[in-house]
């Protein structure tokens, strides 16, 4: 996939200076709150089957950085298991663990060398089984990351593929002849102009067999050939392997890029340069080809055998593209991530209002994410340097009260901030080295979880693989647990409300005061229960008036269930609510 689309997607939501950018259905008692009947949606009140993942709060864990049980500076599965009580108390229903499979770690696990094992740095399959069992005891499901676009170049399939033109796995990857080039001994030029998302040509020459192979990301991540039915079968077998072990679903990596144009047409070149200093390109022939949907429909059938959920890493440009990922008959991804949400770069009530309305009207189940292991932390993206904690609570109050499933990124609940490398030598993420200084890579958002104010944030007794910022002194689980006004306690209250209040779980979404430039407000309504969410996105106090007569709530009163306003007003008359700067109010409305 060419670079305009590539690293730009990471950049889209980051502040890269000026430049860059699930279930075992039948089986366990635990697994099923599935198919509880209820009614939702405005007016229609039609009974629909409710799936567990619609009520769930998801939590992304980057395993290198979550908890280090053996103090080697890198997190591990036993570490995650030791923190399950914390996650339960926070209000998490499912954890998504980014790749923990054997890997050379060129892309920190997104280069998988064996889909059916655990990398020794993280533990063993027995550790994984224990994690799933302990999680189940706490009603937490485990989701894994399925890297389906590519393998590591050290995967046995690729080692065989590159061994000769007639090897059994040759056609499991995308091999092509180069274009003839001039001059004696010339090896040929790459087959076309496609650029890798992580920079350079997307074609890597293999001198041994005299052909190029295609890689959408790093050269060490050769793309699988999904046009070969043997690839599909093998990959679906890998999925079954984990479903059989009790995994409740997958987050599917890089689904946009599964297919490329078989005719290898050049991608259109756009004006300007990307962060690698290369020409920008439209990824017309390397991204979102229609064949992707055939694979997703087939994979969904496998997932459905296990009642599993499929979450998509879907970098869509608009709601129509997002809708396609649900499938015409809701038979593809249950949860394509709305990553466009992360591209709202400033605290803008109108921008978030527009984005929420579009997704809400999209017809599928919305999935809200505000940061992840590829995107600058929301604490930095939205913080103004003065009210960051208050803004972190404001953002939480928004994405945790919307109709849809939220995916928290570890540390968001304590206000972790990016800790970007200060020099090129410090950079671990290879793209950060290549694109330095325009882009410093993704290390900053992947630093160790801050558990205590002690050395290394209590993550490890030895120097961790990435440095912990000094803000860990104040922003850590231990200190925040004992501060009633902390970001952590605000998250806990919010998640508790979200699990308790039917209007927040099942209610529809109704935007209020649609022209207000500063305050985002909306109702969540389920039968006769109504919750009003009022979010002051501005740095100044605001007064808002709500006329709910068209909702049959002409003389309704409000009772604040939760607020981040340090002075706590807002009042009970919806005719005039006083809002402190950057404050959030979650209000029960009663006639």
Q: What is the CA radius of gyration of the chain?
A: 24
Please say whether the beta carbons of 3 and 201 come within 8 A. Answer: no
Nearest-approach distance from CB 275 to ligand NOJ, in angstroms: 15
Structure tokens at 459: 């993550």
Long-range contacts of 324-329 (CB under 8 A, 24+ apart): 324/293, 325/255, 325/296, 325/364, 326/363, 326/364, 326/365, 327/293, 327/296, 327/297, 327/300
Give min distance, CB of 588 to ligand NOJ, in A.
38
User: Is 412 annotated in the active site?
Assistant: no
3-state secondary structure 208-225: CCCEEEECCCCCCCCEEC
Q: Facing residues of 573 across strands?
A: 557
Longest dimension (CA), the chain: 87
Q: Under DSSP, is residue 160 helix (H, G, I), strand (E, B) or coil?
A: helix
Outline where 198-264 has alpha helix (H): 229-244
CA angle 68, 74, 76 (to 5 degrees): 55
The nearer residue to ligand NOJ, 158 or 217, going by C-beta atoms, is 217
* CB-CB contact of 33 with 40 (8 Å): no
- Both tokens assigned to 294: 């055939």
| Neighbour count for residue 463 (Cβ, 10 Å) | 11
Torsion on CA atoms 66, 71, 73, 75, rounded to nearest 10 = -30
Residue with tokens 């904690």: 389
Rounded CA separation 417/422 (Å): 15
- Name all contacts of 69-76 with Cβ < 8 Å and 24+ positions apart: 71/460, 71/461, 71/462, 72/121, 72/460, 72/462, 73/460, 73/462, 73/463, 73/464, 73/465, 74/121, 74/464, 74/465, 75/122, 75/448, 75/449, 75/459, 76/121, 76/122, 76/123, 76/127
CB closest to ligand NOJ, residue no: 110
Could you confirm whether 305 is annotated as catalytic?
yes
Q: Which of 111, 153, 253, 376 is catalytic?
A: 253
Closest contact distance (angstroms) between CB of 97 and ligand NOJ is 13
Instruction: Name the residues that contact ligand NOJ, by CB under 6 A.
Output: 107, 110, 147, 217, 253-254, 313, 373-374
Q: Are 63 and 127 in contact (CB under 8 A)?
A: no
Strand pairing of 279-281 and 309-312? unpaired
Are 440 and 418 in contact by the 8 Å Cβ rule? The answer is: no
Cα–Cα dist 472/450, whole Å: 6
Pick the catalytic residue: 39, 85, 304, 305? 305
Q: Is 536 exposed, middle or buried (0-12, 13-18, 19+ CB in 10 A)?
A: buried
Determine phi and psi for 239, rounding to 5 degrees.
-60, -45
Residue 478 CB: number of other CB atoms within 10 A? 15
CB of 93 to ligand NOJ, least distance (A): 22
CA angle (379 as vertex; 375, 385 as ends), nearest 5: 130
* Least spacing, CB of residue 428 vs ligand NOJ, in Å: 13
The residues near 225 (Cβ < 8 Å, ≥ 6 apart) are 171, 172, 173, 174, 231
CA dist., res. 173 & res. 151, Å (int): 9
CB of 324 to ligand NOJ, least distance (A): 19
Q: To 10 degrees, the CA torsion angle through 482, 486, 492, 494?
A: 150
Give the closest residue to 81 by CA, choosing from 127, 23, 28, 144: 127
Among candidate residues 219, 284, 222, 275, the one with its CA nearest the CA of residue 256: 284
Catalytically annotated residues = 253, 305
């Amino acid at each position: 996939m060419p670079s305009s689309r590539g690293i730009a997607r990471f950049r889209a939501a980051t502040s890269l200076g000026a430049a860059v950018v699930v279930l075992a259905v039948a089986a366990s008692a635990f697994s099923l709150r599935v198919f509880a009947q209820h009614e939702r949606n405005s007016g229609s009140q039609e009974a629909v089957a409710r799936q567990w993942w619609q009520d769930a709060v998801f939590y992304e864990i980057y395993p290198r950085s979550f908890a280090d049980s053996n103090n080697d500076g890198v997190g591990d599965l036993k570490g995650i298991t030791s923190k399950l009580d914390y996650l339960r108390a926070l209000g998490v229903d499912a954890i998504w663990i980014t790749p923990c499979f054997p890997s050379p770690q060129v892309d920190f696990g997104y280069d998988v060398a064996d889909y059916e094992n655990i990398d020794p740095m993280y533990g063993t399959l027995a550790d994984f089984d224990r994690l799933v069992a302990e999680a189940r005891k706490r009603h937490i499901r485990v989701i894994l990351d399925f890297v389906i676009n590519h393998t590591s170049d050290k995967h046995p399939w690729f080692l065989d593929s590159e061994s000769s033109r007639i090897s059994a796995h040759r056609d499991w990857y995308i091999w092509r002849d180069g274009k003839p080039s001039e001059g004696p001994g010339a090896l040929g030029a790459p087959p076309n102009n496609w650029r890798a998302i992580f920079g350079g040509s997307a074609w890597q020459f293999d001198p041994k067999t005299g052909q190029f192979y295609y890689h959408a990301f790093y050269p060490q991540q050769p793309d699988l050939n999904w046009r070969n039915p043997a690839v599909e079968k093998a990959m679906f077998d890998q999925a079954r392997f984990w479903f059989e072990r009790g995994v409740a679903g997958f987050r599917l990596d890089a689904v946009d890029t599964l297919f490329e144009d078989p005719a290898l047409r050049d991608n259109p070149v756009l004006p300007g340069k990307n962060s690698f200093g290369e020409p920008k390109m439209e990824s017309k022939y390397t991204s979102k080809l229609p064949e992707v949907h055939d694979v997703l429909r087939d994979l969904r059938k496998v997932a459905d055998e296990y009642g599993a959920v499929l979450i998509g890493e879907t970098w869509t440009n608009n709601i129509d593209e997002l809708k396609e990922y649900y499938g015409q008959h809701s038979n593809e991804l249950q949860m394509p991530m709305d990553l466009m949400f992360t591209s709202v770069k400033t605290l803008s009530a109108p921008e978030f209002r527009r984005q929420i309305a579009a997704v809400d009207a999209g017809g599928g189940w919305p999935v809200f994410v505000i940061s992840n292991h590829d995107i600058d932390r929301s604490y930095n993206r939205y913080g103004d340097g003065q009210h960051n904690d208050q803004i972190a609570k404001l953002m939480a109050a928004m994405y945790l009260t919307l109709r849809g499933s939220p995916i928290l990124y570890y540390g968001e609940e304590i206000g972790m901030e990016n800790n970007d490398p200060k020099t090129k030598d410090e950079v671990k993420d290879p793209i950060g080295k290549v694109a330095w200084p325009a882009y410093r890579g993704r290390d900053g958002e992947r630093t160790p979880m801050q558990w205590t104010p002690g050395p290394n944030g209590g993550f490890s007794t030895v120097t961790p693989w990435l440095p912990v910022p000094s803000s860990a002194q104040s922003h850590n689980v231990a200190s925040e647990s004992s501060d009633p006004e902390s970001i952590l306690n605000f998250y806990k209250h919010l998640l508790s409300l979200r699990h308790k209040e039917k209007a927040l779980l099942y209610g529809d979404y109704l935007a209020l005061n649609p022209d207000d430039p500063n305050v985002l407000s909306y109702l969540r309504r389920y039968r006769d229960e109504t919750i009003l969410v009022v979010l002051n996105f501005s740095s100044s106090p605001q007064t808002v008036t709500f006329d709910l007569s068209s909702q049959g709530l002409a003389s309704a009163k409000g009772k604040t269930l939760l607020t981040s306003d340090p002075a706590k007003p807002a009042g009970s008359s919806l005719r005039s609510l006083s809002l402190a700067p950057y404050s959030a109010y979650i209000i029960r409305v009663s006639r």
